[in-house]
Amino acid sequence: MNLADRVLSVNNDLPIRTDKPVHSGKVRSVYWLTEEDSKRLIREKGYKVAADAPLAIMVISDRISAFDCIWHGEGGMNGVPGKGAALNAISNHWFKLFREKGLANSHILDIPHPFVWIVQKAKPVMIEAICRQYITGSMWRSYTKGEREFCGIQIPEDLQKDQKLPELLITPSTKGILRGIPGVPEADDVNITRANIEQNYQAFNFRNVDDIAVYEKLLKEGFDVITDELAKLDQIFVDTKFEFGYVTDDQGQQQLIYMDEVGTPDSSRIWDGASYREGQVIEKSKEEFRQQLLNYFPDPDILLNKDRMPERAGLAKNNALPEELLMQVSATYTGIAEKITGKPIVLSDNPKAEIIEILQSQFDLIR
C-alpha cells in the first residue's frame, strides 16, 4: 500500500450524523452531534455530564501546520504518517494522569479510535495558557532585541540561549481576536499580563476573578506532572501551551477543565536530556520541523515575517516537501509518543473506513 494512502489528510468529509456545519481547524475537525444523539449517548454510555450537554465527535488528521500554513509532501503525501495517532495517544496519556493525580478532568468522554475523541462542549477560556521553563524560540528572539519584560514579568539580564529560567514563567496570550479590551490589541495571539486578565476577566470568559488563580494552579500542576514524567525518560519539558474551558457536570456544577491537547509535540517543546547536557539541543517536537523549513527555503524571513503572509502561503501551496523530510517528522512524533506511552503507534491501512465502521457499529452515528 502507498504510504500516502495511510495518511488521513482530509477529516471533514465523514458521514457523521450532524445538523450543524463541520468545524475544521488546522489539525482537527469537530462534528457536533444532534441533540437527540447527544442525549442518547449520555444515557447509553453513562457519561458523567449534564443530561443535555452537547457532544461532538472530534477527528484528528495527519496534517502538519507550521508558521500558520498547512504543508504537504511529494507523492501526494498531504500529511505526516502516524502524526495524528501520536498526538492523540500523548494527550490521552497526560489527561489520564491528570485525572489520576486529582488535577482536573478534560473534555474527552470516550476514545473509540486512535484518531477520534467523543467530547463534551466546553465554554473556552479565551487564553492560550503558555508556560516556559527555558528561554528559547520567540522569547529568545525578543530577548536578543533587548526585551526584558514578558507579559508583565521582568526577567534577568545575562541569560544565555536555551538556558533554564530562574522560575517557571506563565506568559499568556489571547486565543482568537478579542475586541474592546483596554490595552489589548485586537489581534490573535497577543501577549497579555495577569493584570489585563484580572481587569477584564469576563471578556476572557472567566466565571470570576478567583478562577484566574485556579487556571494558573492547573497550568503549573499539569506542567510539573509532565516535567517529572518526561524526566524519568531523560527528556526535558521546555515550554507548552494549555487551553481551558468550563463544563457542567452531572451534578449541575461548573468545572474548569483541560481541553484541546496537552503535552504534545505540536503544543510543546521537548528536548533530549542527554544531548542537552552535552550542549546540543535535539528537538522532539514540531520545532524540529520549523527549523527544517527555515533551512529548506532560501529566504527564511518569509516564514518569520507576518507582513509576508501572502508569500508564505504561496510557499506552502506551491512546494511539495521531500518525502524524507516528512518521514523524519513522522519518526520524531511516533518515537516520542511510544516513549511516553510505552505502546507502539500503529499506522491504519484505511483510517477513514475504520472510523466510519466503529462510529456506526458501536455508537450508531453514521447517517
Interatomic CA distance for residues 191 and 151, integer angstroms: 6
The 10s digit of each residue's pLDDT in 211-221 is 999 999 999 99
The topology (CATH level 3) of 123-277 is D-amino Acid Aminotransferase; Chain A, domain 1 (3.30.470)
Which residue has 511516553 as its cell numbers? Answer: 340
Which residue has 521531500 as its cell numbers? Answer: 322
* Residue ranges of the chain that CATH labels 3.30.200.20: 3-122+341-361
How do beta strands 235-248 and 268-272 pair?
Answer: antiparallel
Kindly state the average pLDDT of the residues 150-157. Answer: 93
Cα torsion 147, 152, 154, 159 to 10°: value is -50
**Count of CB atoms within 10 A of residue 105's CB?**
19
In terms of Cα–Cα distance, which of 28, 148, 91 is closest to 337?
A: 91
In the prediction, which pLDDT does 277 show? 97
* Residue ranges of the chain that CATH labels 3.30.470.20: 123-277
Residue 53 corresponds to which cell in the numbers above? 450537554
Interatomic CA distance for residues 221 and 236, integer angstroms: 16
In the prediction, which pLDDT does 125 show? 97
In the prediction, which pLDDT does 311 show? 97
Band (pLDDT 50/70/90 cuts) for residue 1 is low
The 10s digit of each residue's pLDDT in 138-148 is 899 999 999 99
Interatomic CA distance for residues 203 and 112, integer angstroms: 35
User: Which residues, 6 or more positions from 71, have their beta carbon under 8 angstroms from its beta carbon?
Assistant: 64, 65, 293, 316, 321
How do beta strands 235-248 and 254-259 pair?
Answer: antiparallel
The 10s digit of each residue's pLDDT in 301-348 is 999 998 999 999 999 999 999 999 999 999 999 999 999 999 999 988
The 10s digit of each residue's pLDDT in 225-244 is 999 999 999 999 999 999 99
Whether 62 shows a pLDDT value over 70: the answer reads yes
In terms of Cα–Cα distance, which of 318, 324, 333, 350 is closest to 263?
A: 333
Residue type, 252: G
* Neighbour-count burial for 146-163, b at 16+ CB within 10 Å, e otherwise: eeeebbeeebeeebeebe
Which residue has 505526516 as its cell numbers? Answer: 80
Please provide the CATH number assigned to the domain covering 3-122+341-361.
3.30.200.20
Kindly state the average pLDDT of the residues 47-62. Answer: 96
Q: What does the radius of gyration of the chain's CA atoms come to, in whole angstroms?
A: 21
The residue among 3 and 343 whose pLDDT is bigger is 343
How do beta strands 149-150 and 320-321 pair?
Answer: unpaired
Kindly state the average pLDDT of the residues 75-92. Answer: 96
User: Which residues, 6 or more positions from 282, have their beta carbon under 8 angstroms from its beta carbon?
Assistant: 271, 272, 275, 276
Cβ contact 284:270 at 8 Å: yes
Cβ contact 259:120 at 8 Å: no
Cβ contact 204:126 at 8 Å: yes
Q: What three-state secondary structure class fits 9?
A: coil
Share of the chain above pLDDT 90, in %: 93
Kindly state the average pLDDT of the residues 176-201. Answer: 92
